[in-house]
Protein backbone atom coordinates (compact mmCIF):
# COMPACT_ATOMS: atom_id res chain seq x y z
CA UNK A 1 0.00 0.00 0.00
CA UNK A 2 1.31 3.43 -0.92
CA UNK A 3 0.02 6.22 1.31
CA UNK A 4 0.65 9.91 1.67
CA UNK A 5 0.65 11.35 5.19
CA UNK A 6 0.32 14.91 6.44
CA UNK A 7 2.60 16.46 9.08
CA UNK A 8 0.49 14.94 11.89
CA UNK A 9 1.05 11.53 10.29
CA UNK A 10 -2.62 11.12 9.43
CA UNK A 11 -3.25 9.19 6.23
CA UNK A 12 -4.68 11.64 3.70
CA UNK A 13 -4.39 9.75 0.42
CA UNK A 14 -3.93 6.09 -0.44
CA UNK A 15 -2.62 5.91 -4.01
CA UNK A 16 -2.83 2.12 -4.32
CA UNK A 17 -6.63 2.05 -4.65
CA UNK A 18 -9.53 3.97 -6.19
CA UNK A 19 -11.18 6.78 -4.27
CA UNK A 20 -13.84 7.45 -6.90
CA UNK A 21 -15.60 5.33 -9.51
CA UNK A 22 -13.92 6.83 -12.59
CA UNK A 23 -10.41 6.74 -11.09
CA UNK A 24 -9.46 10.20 -12.33
CA UNK A 25 -7.31 10.77 -9.22
CA UNK A 26 -5.70 7.32 -9.17
CA UNK A 27 -1.89 7.63 -9.04
CA UNK A 28 -0.87 4.10 -8.10
CA UNK A 29 1.74 1.97 -9.79
CA UNK A 30 -0.33 -0.83 -11.32
CA UNK A 31 0.96 -1.42 -14.84
CA UNK A 32 -0.84 -4.53 -16.03
CA UNK A 33 -4.31 -4.84 -17.51
CA UNK A 34 -7.16 -6.97 -16.18
CA UNK A 35 -5.99 -9.80 -18.47
CA UNK A 36 -2.42 -9.55 -17.11
CA UNK A 37 -0.89 -7.91 -20.18
CA UNK A 38 1.80 -5.27 -19.56
CA UNK A 39 0.81 -1.65 -20.18
CA UNK A 40 2.58 0.43 -22.80
CA UNK A 41 4.12 3.80 -21.99
CA UNK A 42 1.64 6.64 -22.48
CA UNK A 43 4.18 8.76 -24.37
CA UNK A 44 4.71 5.95 -26.90
CA UNK A 45 0.95 5.47 -27.31
CA UNK A 46 0.40 9.17 -27.91
CA UNK A 47 3.23 9.34 -30.44
CA UNK A 48 2.20 6.20 -32.33
CA UNK A 49 -1.58 6.34 -32.44
CA UNK A 50 -3.83 8.88 -34.11
CA UNK A 51 -5.68 9.94 -30.97
CA UNK A 52 -7.88 12.32 -32.99
CA UNK A 53 -9.99 9.35 -34.02
CA UNK A 54 -11.18 8.72 -30.45
CA UNK A 55 -14.45 10.23 -29.27
CA UNK A 56 -16.31 10.40 -25.97
CA UNK A 57 -19.95 9.39 -25.47
CA UNK A 58 -21.08 12.79 -26.80
CA UNK A 59 -19.09 12.52 -30.03
CA UNK A 60 -16.43 15.00 -28.87
CA UNK A 61 -12.83 14.18 -29.85
CA UNK A 62 -10.72 13.21 -26.83
CA UNK A 63 -6.98 13.18 -26.21
CA UNK A 64 -4.70 11.76 -23.56
CA UNK A 65 -4.46 14.21 -20.69
CA UNK A 66 -3.15 13.56 -17.21
CA UNK A 67 -4.40 15.39 -14.12
CA UNK A 68 -1.55 16.71 -11.94
CA UNK A 69 1.12 14.75 -13.79
CA UNK A 70 2.65 14.64 -17.25
CA UNK A 71 2.43 11.69 -19.63
CA UNK A 72 6.11 11.05 -18.84
CA UNK A 73 5.28 10.83 -15.13
CA UNK A 74 2.34 8.52 -15.84
CA UNK A 75 4.91 6.15 -17.43
CA UNK A 76 3.06 2.91 -18.17
CA UNK A 77 0.79 3.00 -15.12
CA UNK A 78 -2.95 2.47 -15.34
CA UNK A 79 -4.74 5.81 -15.60
CA UNK A 80 -7.99 7.34 -16.84
CA UNK A 81 -6.12 9.68 -19.16
CA UNK A 82 -9.11 10.20 -21.43
CA UNK A 83 -10.82 11.72 -18.36
CA UNK A 84 -14.10 10.06 -19.17
CA UNK A 85 -16.58 10.16 -16.30
CA UNK A 86 -17.91 6.71 -17.29
CA UNK A 87 -14.49 5.07 -17.48
CA UNK A 88 -11.97 3.72 -14.98
CA UNK A 89 -8.17 3.44 -15.00
CA UNK A 90 -7.01 1.60 -18.11
CA UNK A 91 -4.00 1.19 -20.35
CA UNK A 92 -3.05 0.29 -23.89
CA UNK A 93 -1.61 -3.21 -24.24
CA UNK A 94 -0.77 -2.90 -27.95
CA UNK A 95 -0.31 -0.06 -30.44
CA UNK A 96 -3.93 -0.13 -31.56
CA UNK A 97 -6.89 2.01 -30.53
CA UNK A 98 -8.80 -1.20 -29.87
CA UNK A 99 -6.22 -2.44 -27.34
CA UNK A 100 -7.54 -0.46 -24.34
CA UNK A 101 -8.00 -2.68 -21.29
CA UNK A 102 -9.16 -1.70 -17.81
CA UNK A 103 -6.84 -2.55 -14.93
CA UNK A 104 -9.12 -3.96 -12.22
CA UNK A 105 -8.02 -1.69 -9.37
CA UNK A 106 -9.87 -2.13 -6.10
CA UNK A 107 -11.60 0.63 -4.16
CA UNK A 108 -10.08 2.04 -1.00
CA UNK A 109 -11.50 0.76 2.28
CA UNK A 110 -13.14 3.88 3.67
CA UNK A 111 -14.07 2.17 6.93
CA UNK A 112 -10.46 2.44 8.17
CA UNK A 113 -9.28 5.73 9.60
What average pLDDT does the chain have?
A: 78
Distance CA 113, CA 68 (A): 25
CATH code for position 78:
2.40.20.10
- Look at the chain and report how many structural domains it folds into: 1
Examine residue 90 and state whether it is found in any structural domain, yes or no: yes
> Between 111 and 48, where is the model more confident?
48
Are 14 and 107 a contacting pair, CB within 8 Å? no
Where in the sequence is the domain holding 89, given as residue range(s)? 13-105
Q: Tens digit of pLDDT for each residue in 45-89?
A: 888 876 656 666 677 776 777 667 888 899 999 998 877 666 889
CA dihedral 78, 84, 87, 91 (to 10 degrees): -30
Examine residue 3 and state whether it is found in any structural domain, yes or no: no
Examine residue 57 and state whether it is found in any structural domain, yes or no: yes
For residue 66, how many other CB atoms are within 10 A of its CB? 17
pTM for the complete prediction?
0.75
Amino acid sequence: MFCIFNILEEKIWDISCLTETNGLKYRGYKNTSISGKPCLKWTEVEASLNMSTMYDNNGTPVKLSAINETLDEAENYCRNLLQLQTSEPFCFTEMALSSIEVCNISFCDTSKG
